[in-house]
Amino acid sequence: MTFEKVTVVGLGLIGGSLAAALRESGEVGEVFGVERDSDSLSFSLENEIIDSGAREIGPAIWGSDVVIVATYVNNIAQVCGEVSGFVSSGTVVCDTGSVKAPIVRRMERGLQNIRFVGAHPIAGKETSGVRESWAGLFSGKRCVVTPIESTCPEALLAVKKLFWLAGSEVVEMDPKSHDEVFSLVSHLPHAVAYSLLGAVGSGGGERNLFDFSGGGLADFTRIALSSPEMWAGIFIENREALLSAIRGFAGKLGEIEKAVALGKVEDLEVLLREARDSGINKEKREENVRENKEN
């Protein structure tokens, strides 16, 4: 048995899927869930996603080897503070948020009785809630952990083991680099998707332009189906890196705008080809990584 007890706070898509994966692994004695929504908690119990649970953080989480905070990023630090009042000294606490630097900074400044490790499982889908959870969500996916100089090595290993049990490949990254990377590969695409749908939705007058859309717009629609409450918090928590990413995107879009305005087909072809080739090169790099692993 790797862990006697693991508590998951927040039984949404990520928290519920992680709880289900840990329970299915057979390496956790008890998976305890904390979820304020009574329907979600009942669903988790009835479908054996968790062994037991409660609606509030309290004495029932005592004895947890690891507490996973799977709430919206703007609530993580507050929830960790609540957790710290009901666990033994040195309990390992990790999160699942897609923003790391501000959370790690807050945790470093306080809550000395817990050992915090930032974590970000790179998995999900456009739908949310525990009813969308499944134990295989993290299988074969990466999880980024973001230790700093003061991070306890034993706590870091415990968090790595936890996500290994869920099927993840665990990689390390410093918090600032993590936020810069994900501002470009995750947060910016969501900002663009919401903006694009807003532009299309307001551009057709009385006509519903979405009735005429093809597969290209459908990809953006899928992204923008994600929770606005969740993404608003992510955007604000990672504001500096995201603003830099948005400005970079605006610059690239401005280059295309200028070429279109001037009617320069050759310039447009160069811009579009460069963008396309960067995507192709990414696919080739990923293919090489997969081949190296198999060999």
Contact partners, residue 209, CB within 8 Å, separation at least 6: 200, 201, 203
pLDDT of residue 32: 98
Angle at 246 between CA 117 and CA 15, to 5 degrees: 35
Tokens in use for 285? 């790099």
pLDDT in tens, 23-58: 999 999 999 999 999 999 999 999 999 999 999 999
pLDDT in tens, 136-181: 999 999 999 999 999 999 999 999 999 999 999 999 999 999 999 9
Tokens in use for 58? 């309290």
pLDDT band at 293; cut points 50, 70, 90:
low
What is the percentage of the chain residues whose pLDDT exceeds 90? 78
Return the percent helix, strand and coil in the chain, to nearest 5.
55, 15, 30
Full DSSP string of 203-253: SSTTS-GGGG--HHHHHHHHHHTS-HHHHHHHHHHTHHHHHHHHHHHHHHH
Sign of CA dihedral 194, 198, 204, 207: positive
State the first-to-last Cα distance of the chain, in angstroms, to the nearest integer.
32
Q: Which candidate, 21, 42, 282, 266, places its Cα nearest to that of 135?
A: 21
pLDDT band at 90; cut points 50, 70, 90:
confident
Contact partners, residue 252, CB within 8 Å, separation at least 6: 271, 275
Angle at 268 between CA 205 and CA 221, to 5 degrees: 40
pLDDT of residue 284: 56
Q: How many residues does the chain have?
A: 295
pLDDT of residue 295: 46
pLDDT in tens, 180-229: 999 999 999 999 999 998 888 887 666 777 777 777 788 888 888 888 99
CA-to-CA distance for 120 and 168, rounded, in angstroms?
11
Beta strands 119-121 and 142-145 are antiparallel
pLDDT band at 282; cut points 50, 70, 90:
low
CA-to-CA distance for 60 and 57, rounded, in angstroms?
8
